[in-house]
Amino acid sequence: MIELDPQQAAARAWFEALRTRICAAFEAIERDAGSDASFEFLPWDRVDQSGAPGGGGVRGVMKGRVFEKVGVNVSTVGGTLEGDFGRTIHGAGDDPRFFATGISLVAHMANPHVPAVHMNTRFLRTTKQWFGGGADLNPPLPVEQDTADFHARLRAACDAHDPAYYPRFKQWADDYFYIPHRQVHRGVGGIFYDHLEGEFEEAFAFTRDVGEAFLDIYPAIVRRRMALPFTPQDLAVQRAWRGRYAEFNLVYDRGTLFGLKTGGNIDAILMSLPPVATWD
């Protein structure tokens, strides 16, 4: 294990506690659907490039009746960043040492009427320290009410801290979750933020509120859609849309690249890929 200072320990504890609460909420949805599906947790350890212990994490995956495949991962890693990649990381150009802790979640749903979702929040330290993350909704069959409710809840979390956050972070999500070679957005957006520096407690409080907002709104959206009937045509739309989702995560997603470049657990990094997808 790597040694943590009080700020690092507090961030790790929050991400792990949020993971536990999200998993419990998702398992409760499965129970309501008559399923006994539960998360399977697999701890993993990381060795830094120097050969020293480099932290690790826990991969959590559930495959159920409502959640066709959902991963909720936590990790806390540290050590040194390698070569050219290290120089691309905020604050690591002159000193390759880093620390990162966070939660990452992707849910792919059995019913095409239930939107898939992505959420992650994280705390990183190089020669600088910052929080980042966000949440975005990814429906194969968009519903205006779901999109509006999701954005409204994230706006409320943002407005409690700074009225400028929501428009800024919404635009950041729109710009980031875009597939240039397809010229389409990955979903209906949400918020995305990075390099949120300044006072630790203030940035940490905002990051916690993003997690609370997600836990408040997404299970509610799942429950309102999970029993709707769907057609083979709906399923075909969902699977083609999943192909676009996979393309984004493999080609453009910075979190995927960071995990691979820092020696993370491959299964945990690629848990974002859908269980079934099509390319026509």
pLDDT, tens only, 122-151: 999 999 999 999 999 999 999 999 999 999
> Confidence band (pLDDT; 50, 70, 90) for 235?
very high
Mean pLDDT of 115-122: 98
Nearest to 76 by CA among 49, 103, 50: 103
pTM: 0.94
The rounded distance, in Å, linking the Cα atoms of 12 and 124 is 11
CB 225 within 8 A of CB 113: yes
The rounded distance, in Å, linking the Cα atoms of 167 and 165 is 6
pLDDT over threshold 80, residue 247: yes
The rounded distance, in Å, linking the Cα atoms of 17 and 11 is 10
According to the model, what pLDDT value does residue 96 have? 87
| pLDDT over 90 percentage in the chain | 81
Domains, the chain, in order of start with CATH, read 6-272 (3.40.1500.10)
What is the CB neighbour count within 10 angstroms for residue 83? 10
The tokens describing 160, both together, are 């409690």
The rounded distance, in Å, linking the Cα atoms of 166 and 204 is 17
> Confidence band (pLDDT; 50, 70, 90) for 53?
confident
The rounded distance, in Å, linking the Cα atoms of 173 and 176 is 5
> Confidence band (pLDDT; 50, 70, 90) for 92?
confident
Cα 119 to its chain centre, rounded Å, is 3
CB 136 within 8 A of CB 117: yes
Nearest to 263 by CA among 51, 109, 90, 105: 51
What is the CB neighbour count within 10 angstroms for residue 239? 18
> Confidence band (pLDDT; 50, 70, 90) for 1?
low
- Cα angle: 192, vertex 196, 202; to 5 degrees: 115
The rounded distance, in Å, linking the Cα atoms of 139 and 222 is 11
The rounded distance, in Å, linking the Cα atoms of 46 and 52 is 9
According to the model, what pLDDT value does residue 88 have? 79
Q: Is 163 helix (H, G, I), strand (E, B) or coil?
A: coil
Element (H, E) at 77: strand 67-80
Q: What is the DSSP string of 99-132?
A: EEEEEEEEEEESSTTSPEEEEEEEEEESSSEEEE
Residue in 108, 118, 151, 185 annotated catalytic = 118
User: Tell me, what amino acid is at 237?
Assistant: V
Q: What is the DSSP string of 1-34?
A: -----HHHHHHHHHHHHHHHHHHHHHHHHHHHTT
The tokens describing 131, both together, are 């929080």
Cα 185 to its chain centre, rounded Å, is 17
181 is a catalytic site residue:
no
